[in-house]
Amino acid sequence: MAADNIEDPEAFRQRARSWIRSNLELMDRSVLAAALGGGASEETELAGIRREREIQRMFFDAGFAGICMPREYGGQGLTPAHQRAFNEELAGYEFPHRLQAPNFSPCAAVILDFGTEEQKRRHIPAILKGEELWMQLLSEPGGGSDVAAAQTTAVRDGDEWVLNGSKIWTTGAWWSDWGLCLARTNWDVPKHRGLTVFIFPLHREGVDVHRIEMLNGSKEFCQEFLTDLRVPDTDRVGEVDEGWTVGVRWMFHERMLYNSPLVTLPPGARFTPGSGSPADVARDAGVLADSHVRDLIGEARVLDIAGRELQQRIAQGVRSGRISDQGAAIARLFGGVAGARTRTIEFEIAGAMGGAWTDDDGAAAGLGVDFLMRQAACIGGGTTEMARNVISERVLGMPRERSSDRDVPFREVPRGPSAGARSR
Amino acid sequence: MLLEPTSDQEFFRENTAKFLSDQVPPGEIRRLRDDPDGFDADYWRRGAELGWTSLLVDEAHGGGSLSGQGLIDLTLVAYEFGRHAAPGPLLSTNVVASALSRAGGEEHGTVLDAVLAGTSTASWCFQERLAGLTAGALEIRVEGDELVLSGEKRPVEHAAQAAHLLVTGRSGDGATQVLVPAGTPGLTIRPMHTVDLARRFSIVRLDAVRVPLDAVVGTPGQAAEQVEHQVQTALVILCAETVGTMQRAFDMTVEWAFDRYSFGRPLASYQELKHRFADMKSWLEAGHAVADAAALAVESRAPEANELVSVAKAFVGQYGGELIQDCVQIHGGIGVTFDHDLHLFLRRATLDRALMGTPAEHRQRIAADLAPQEDR
């Protein structure tokens, strides 16, 4: 033990290693790929979630849950170096990958930043034990990138709020427990000044969860319809009409996802599809000797490692204050563009198997579908276009884009015909 | 460049930056186009006093680092060389000094002393045509108490200005390195053209050049590991220098985007350009990150060092070039004039991209490590 009573990261690593080896199964990559790619049945998926909750509980009981979370809320109160050591030791083993985002970051991170003492004591330990799975209700059908233009409305009624509206692109809401929701509480002030954040259980009267089928067959994304949903004022996060303060931090945690010290993610594991590396694809497609293919294998590896090192640099810089919080957009942009390029590379290497394949084609099978979903890497978690705006305007200080919604009551902001119902 | 240097490292970097700004401003670099040597002997000696040549050399041999991680310290100098498109044989002297300190014998002590002091320079004869990053085809034979060297090396940095040449070649299946004094009979140095205004390159030809046996650095036929380390060191220096050129070109172009008005508003207000700046910023930061990671891996002898130097070289080679060319595009016509400073950095990045393996060659190396071709 060091002088400040923090376990030495190397000792922690040793302890983690022996615990992982004697308690966890090796990761079955095909199961992970099927889960991420949408190929699993509902029963398989729910069984997977149950197992992940179980592993999370094992983490908690063994002292490996919430490594960087404060001890008073059930965390370990350790450092990012400890989380990194744990991540590294976890490589190759099963881990609760669907419990990471948005459950730990941004949801738990936002509760930690802005929740009341009571909210933190009630929810953080439950999240760390795998008892509560959280989802973020942020985007709306009327607008993806323009998050602050939320139209889901909360109206005060005594000690309660009544919510109406719709949220979309919530991952796994159908098997989750709680939601973090950005809603409009004031239509008569400019858009950023009339928002408030609420939390509520997802499976209760007033919340209707619909699963959306993506073009690859995945039904992980959901849309929720909120109809006269009553939320007690004690489940409000942050001040009334100050929701954007929470929202800015919320989106920071979202962009930091891959490098958040709150997230458990073994190196090499991804939240994106693909059951093998480009080299595996080349081997199974029988084109490993092709010089052009080898160039592509090298390129994918370069992007992968450069992205990893960039994430670490930005995370380190943000922690020490050398890089502003907005710098997280740099890693988000790079990750999106590199991810899309890598999907293209894998598809290219697969050759004709990219268009038609059998289940015997190994890592080369199904890459055409991943290619169809390629742009998801540049859309989900905030588009790369938004990241480019943030980098140029907030990091480099270039002039802001013109907008018609600044200093105008939100009620008077023009909304196109596709934006759904206008204000009431 | 290091995100969080120590205060010693920061002071050291600033000293070099200030010296380069004073001594080799862009006008001076332009002037060097017509200077056959490309750098001034006194400039180099004063740079050596600032610590440019000693960082990879053991303290017992008169060297020493700031942080205990000499290669990391050296990346700070290389980065500033890039930011100033600075003259001088930074790569070759450091690689040779490091080799002499690690593998050289007693006989090489005086040469090392002079290189450390900056009173003379040494050059590394390594690359050949079509040899990749291997010891090449140059033959080094033992004949009695002499070594006989035959072959051709190109391009060799500042060979014509060097007092000594460290020649890498092969003896049978093994690699051998020999320190050859300039002027040794059989040695011919033919100048080459280059894109850089200040760096000089030559073809070094050795026709049965004879040197005494004690000119060998290390053991004949057993230099492979040392050569690999030199390759890694050279790649780290080139990557750090390239990141410096990227940073400078980027900073200049951001400033230009704020100052230049078209249609009544600054270039920086156009979303098309803002988004390109955002892309460039992501390449720049990734370049810093991957170059630093490579330096740390080589310095700490990490098993992934070989892969990381190739990843770094492939990345900064490709994206550095793209970034600076985009900076030229955003400058418009003035960006391709000799009077503007931008091309100084474009030149250095272009040179560094081509040396010690192009991005494509490094991608092949990475693939070879990731997926060996068993059946070929």
Same domain as B242, residue B183: no
Domain boundaries along the sequence of chain A: 9-101+114-132, 135-251, 272-395
Q: Is residue B43 part of a domain?
A: yes
Q: Which residue of A has its CA nearest to B251?
A: A396
Residues 331-360 in A contacting B (C-alpha not used; CB under 8 Å): 331, 333-334, 337
Q: Is the ipTM of this complex over 0.85?
A: yes
Per-residue model confidence as pLDDT tens digits over B278-317? 999 999 999 999 999 999 999 999 999 999 999 999 999 9
- Residue B376 in any domain: the answer is no
Does the domain made of A135-251 have the CATH classification 3.40.50.170?
no
Regarding whether B69 and B33 lie in a shared domain, the answer is yes
Q: Cβ–Cβ of A333/B282 closer than 8 Å?
A: yes
- Please answer yes or no on whether B282 and A288 come within 8 Å at the CB atom: no
Does residue B347 form part of some domain? yes
SS3 of chain A: CCCCCCCCHHHHHHHHHHHHHHHCCECCHHHHHHHHHCCCCHHHHHHHHHHHHHHHHHHHHHCCCCCCCCHHHCCCCCCHHHHHHHHHHHCCECCCHHHHHHHHHHHHHHHHHHCCHHHHHHHHHHHHCCCCCEEEECCECCECCCHHHCCCEEEEECCEEEEEEEEEEEECHHHCCEEEEEEECCCCCCHHHCEEEEEEECCCCCEEEEECCCCCCCCCEEEEEEEEEEEEHHHEECCCCEHHHHHHHHHHHHHCHHHCCCCCCCCCCCCCCCCCCHHHHHHHHCCCCCHHHHHHHHHHHHHHHHHHHHHHHHHHHHHHCCCCHHHHHHHHHHHHHHHHHHHHHHHHHHHHHHCCCCHHHHHHCCHHHHHHCCCHHHHCCCCHHHHHHHHHHHHCCCCCCCCCCCCCCHHHCCCCHHHCCCCC
* B92 and B17 belong to one structural domain: yes
A–B interface: beta-carbon pairs under 8 A: 141
Residue B1 lies in a domain: no
pLDDT in tens, B44-88: 999 999 999 999 999 999 999 999 999 999 999 999 999 999 999
Over range A10-22, report the average pLDDT: 96
- B132 and B59 in a single domain? The answer is no
pLDDT bin (cut points 50, 70, 90) of residue B367 is very high
Each residue's pLDDT tens digit, B80-124: 999 999 999 999 999 999 999 999 888 899 999 999 999 999 999
Q: Which of B221, B239, B270 is the last residue of a domain?
A: B221
Q: Indicate if the alpha-carbon torsion angle B42, B47, B48, B49 is positive or negative.
A: positive
Structural domain contains residue B25: yes
Q: How many angstroms separate the Cα of B202 from the Cα of each of B47, B132, B355?
A: 23, 18, 13
Q: CA-CA distance, B73 to B93, in Å (whole number)? A: 15
* Cα–Cα distance for residue pair B127/B145, rounded to 1 Å: 27
For B288-319, give the DSSP string: HHHHHHHHHHHHTT-TTHHHHHHHHHHHHHHH
B→A contacts (Cβ < 8 Å), by residue, are 3-4, 254, 257-258, 265-266, 268-269, 271, 274-275, 277-279, 281-283, 285-290, 292-293, 307-308, 310-311, 314-315, 360, 362-368, 370-371, 373, 375-376
Of B221, B256, B283, which residue sits at a domain end?
A: B221
Which CATH number does the domain housing residue B71 bear? 1.10.540.10
* Single-letter code of the amino acid located at A173: A
Residues B142, B22 within the same domain: no
Which homologous superfamily is A272-395 in?
Butyryl-CoA Dehydrogenase, subunit A, domain 3 (1.20.140.10)
Per-residue model confidence (pLDDT) at position B346: 98
Residues B34, B88, single domain; the answer is yes
Tens-place pLDDT, residues A137-177? 999 998 777 889 999 999 999 999 999 999 999 988 999 99
Same domain? B151 vs B284:
no
B277: which chain A residues are within 8 Å (Cβ-Cβ)? Answer: 391-392, 396, 398
CA distance A363 to chain B (A): 14
Contact A388 B278 (CB under 8 A): yes
* CATH class of the domain defined by A9-101+114-132: mainly alpha
B282, B283, B316, B319: which to substitute to probe chain A, counting the most A Cβ within 10 Å?
A: B282
- Per residue in B189-225, is it b (16+ CB within 10 Å) or e — as a string? beeeebebbbbbbbbbbbeebbbeeebbbbebbebbe
Co-location of B253 and B344 in the same domain: yes
CATH value at residue B245:
1.20.140.10
Residues B232, B358: one domain? yes
Domain residues for B113? Answer: 7-117
Last residue of a domain, one of B117, B143, B173: B117
Task: pLDDT band for B372, please (50, 70, 90 cuts).
Answer: confident
Please check whether residues B111 and B127 belong to one and the same domain. no
Instruction: Name the domain count of chain B.
Output: 3
Cα(A290)–Cα(B373) distance, rounded to whole angstroms?
10
Distance CA B85, CA B20 (A): 9
| Nearest CB neighbour to B289, from listed A312, A329, A391 | A312
Instruction: Specify if B13 maps to a domain.
Output: yes
* A288 vs B3, B285, B371: nearest CB: B371
Residues B229, B365: one domain?
yes
Q: Determine, yes or no, domain membership for B266.
A: yes
CB-based contact B271 A317, cutoff 8 Å: no
Q: What is the pLDDT of chain A when averaged over all its residues?
A: 90
Residue B329 lies in a domain: yes
Q: Which residues on chain A are in Cβ contact (under 8 Å) with B367?
A: 279, 294-295, 297-298, 301
B298 and B345 together in one domain: yes
- Whichever domain contains B205, its CATH number is 2.40.110.10
A398–B277 C-beta distance less than 8 A: yes
